[in-house]
Structure 1
């Protein structure tokens, strides 16, 4: 009697790739390997020959000239503002906000606007490899619903502002609406709802103290625009004698659950407070550059042990939601700001776009690296094009020559959301038609 052959383990998907870049362990690149995915999670990362002998998959994907990486994590954006892309370019931040963006939002922003703008943003993010995003905008219930339908992972950061907005009467109204939305998604596997006091200059101490209590009791993350410009810091010092970071620390809002967005005007004292508190930073270099808001000292922050992740900000001020482009800009800008060519190397830039982002959102146990047991949130980037040749280092090519147009396939929780550049959970034609509808309405009003 001949010995029986060992049976193959049945799994959902085997993805063979020329390179697999797990991010953890740092600096590793696996060649000619495969990722086994089952039940929405990563089962194993192993050599291709071993994978074919161990597993029998319902679906096999062969990526002969691709790098397979963790899905990118966009830690700060305003998705619905995609409908205002190119609307009021080339203006400084406060003029842009006060004279153009805020008046337009007051007139046009409603649930349908937010849903259609979010749909456009999510389509763009998926097509450029982003599988998780944190969003801060009005009518967050609309963004949450579109994210749920599209299959992307989302942190919905509901905006809290002490004056009337299209969504809320004041800070208290925003907090209560946001808490109700959080209850609606409490058990959802892909969508979380968190606090987002807008900025130090739009939210008073009483509201911030209330948020600090809620966040501490329920262990809920908090996201806030902070030190976006030198002018913001100077005004705070003139009015109260406190830097915005000092004010948040005094109010109990600078904690390991806090994500500080921008941090362009940063002193040694600010860095000390970030170190002591364990707070995170969302670096949005392209938006900061376009609005001339200043330079976040990302390399210095990272060297100080502070977790720095990447965000695109909204498409109205970027004007792209391409996180690979953001990683490229972050790496180049860090070298210019620090005066050191070795500052923020490619591996670190990729980490900022993946595991650092997951840490900043408090979900690094779920996503951010290709480790067994984590959710299979993945992006495949085609490195076979002329522009990527010759290929000496795939991570270098991803950061310094790659962009979102090279992303071919995307998965979230093992579910394919884009295959060979075709979106599977969103109708691209419908997204474009809805976008043109809003362009024509807004343009007609302007004329």
Structure 2
């Protein structure tokens, strides 16, 4: 099948005017100017006039379980927010969580996401779910604060489940929740499984001021909350939460480190040497009013930065384009919508960075593919890659810039191709 569009984004970000993509089955065979890819006799053609065709977006961090919590939680300090979300979770039934997961998938599809890294807190729900409608990496959440079956037994059980679900596109990984809630033993389990089964793992690190205070100084409200829950806090007061993990050699290049909002100077070299990718969730970051994310330093250090939405418990949408607009406004060369940036960030929407729309697009495609161990397979339209593609209109307000058009748009994709199958199509 041959797809033609006014602009095709090939490879790692090459804008091809009057471009074409040929696919066979679930793979891309060729990408280039339409003139160089004439149709074969009888070959079906999808023509996307006035559109830009891009690899599908990859949301590197999401909690689909919480997709019915939009607007339920008041803005509060991080420890109070944790207490609030745990209180709400206790009022949800299994059916509520299943419905939330379905709703979350709908929101992702209608905003152009073809792959998601989902933190799964309730793996017992998985047998009740049909095959996910998009490519999904299910990260089993692990912590020491709930009385649960042995972590290794749970991990083996979920691995067996996915082994028997070949129709489920995506993969599996582990997610020790955070340094304040997961022991080093759980992090070691995540690293062992990652190395043995060749799968990624993910964790929240250095998200909040309170986590920073807990590990640096052995004090503060999160420290007190965790002590009340029975955590042995003798590992606190000796350095940052990132250094706590690095010193135990549990961070690797297969780790998606989520947030890293509070970095000490000595953290940078450790992060760079670990090879871990970083996931930034701009709107959740703005929701909590955290210190400015150090995007320029991340780029200077050569860190692979990806974008995620986090959950609707701290966000108003699961639209990765909204995250891209905010990060471009905050750290880019120009704001797509300064008024939107001001509303989300609460700082007037000032622009003071060097990110280009192409840089931000890569944080939604190429970079998260690398973080998931899928470089060359996902996040790009290249020969041999999996055929996950989305098309959106070229927008005159962006000067028909393809990357700005992808970021600035707010409507559903006009074409959505997953694993070579058209899910949405308005070809003309």
Which one of the candidate residues 232, 250, 254 is aligned to 1:253? 250
| 1:55–1:159 Cα change, 3 Å | farther
- 1:130 equivalent in structure 2: 113
For residues 228-267 of structure 1, what are the structure 2 equivalents within 5 Å? 228-239=207-218, 240=236, 241-267=238-264
Deviation at 1:330, TM superposition (A): 1.3
**Alpha-carbon contact 2:39-2:45 (below 8 Å) kept:** no
- 2:413 equivalent in structure 1: 407
Partners of 2:127 and 2:293 lie apart in 1 by 30
Which one of the candidate residues 119, 126, 130 is aligned to 2:102? 119
Q: Deviations over 1:230-266 (max 9, x none)?
A: 2201211223212111111122211101111011112
| 1:394–1:149 Cα change, 3 Å | closer
**Alpha-carbon contact 2:19-2:34 (below 8 Å) kept:** yes
Which one of the candidate residues 394, 400, 403 is aligned to 1:395? 403
Deviation at 1:149, TM superposition (A): 4.3
- 1:160 equivalent in structure 2: 142
Q: Deviations over 1:158-186 (max 9, x none)?
A: 0001122xxxx33x634422331122223
Partners of 2:124 and 2:297 lie apart in 1 by 37
- 1:344 equivalent in structure 2: 355
For residues 34-183 of structure 1, what are the structure 2 equivalents within 5 Å? 34-54=20-40, 56-57=42-43, 59-98=44-83, 100-110=84-94, 112-140=95-123, 142=125, 146=129, 148-150=131-133, 152-164=134-146, 169-170=147-148, 173-183=150-160
Partners of 1:332 and 1:214 lie apart in 2 by 38
Partners of 2:182 and 2:314 lie apart in 1 by 22
SS state at 1:178 partner: helix
SS state at 1:31 partner: strand
- 2:278 equivalent in structure 1: 281
Structure showing the higher helix proportion among its residues: 1
For normalisation by structure 2, the TM-score amounts to 0.86
For normalisation by structure 1, the TM-score amounts to 0.82
| 1:89–1:14 Cα change, 3 Å | farther
| 1:340–1:289 Cα change, 3 Å | closer
**Alpha-carbon contact 2:113-2:320 (below 8 Å) kept:** yes
- 2:424 equivalent in structure 1: 418
Partners of 1:284 and 1:328 lie apart in 2 by 12
Deviation at 1:54, TM superposition (A): 4.1
Gaps of 5+ in 1: 1-12, 422-447
Deviation at 1:64, TM superposition (A): 0.6
| 1:356–1:141 Cα change, 3 Å | farther
> What is the CA RMSD across the aligned residues, in angstroms?
2.4
The number of residues matched between the two structures is 393
**Alpha-carbon contact 2:413-2:424 (below 8 Å) kept:** no
Partners of 2:275 and 2:102 lie apart in 1 by 34
Gaps of 5+ in 2: 219-235, 333-344
For residues 316-327 of structure 1, what are the structure 2 equivalents within 5 Å? 316-327=313-324
- 1:439 equivalent in structure 2: none
Partners of 1:275 and 1:144 lie apart in 2 by 39
| 1:122–1:266 Cα change, 3 Å | same
Partners of 1:17 and 1:221 lie apart in 2 by 34
Moved more, 198-207 or 373-382: 198-207
Moved more, 291-300 or 59-68: 291-300
- 1:14 equivalent in structure 2: 2
| 1:38–1:144 Cα change, 3 Å | farther
- 1:434 equivalent in structure 2: none
Partners of 1:334 and 1:147 lie apart in 2 by 39
Deviation at 1:46, TM superposition (A): 2.6
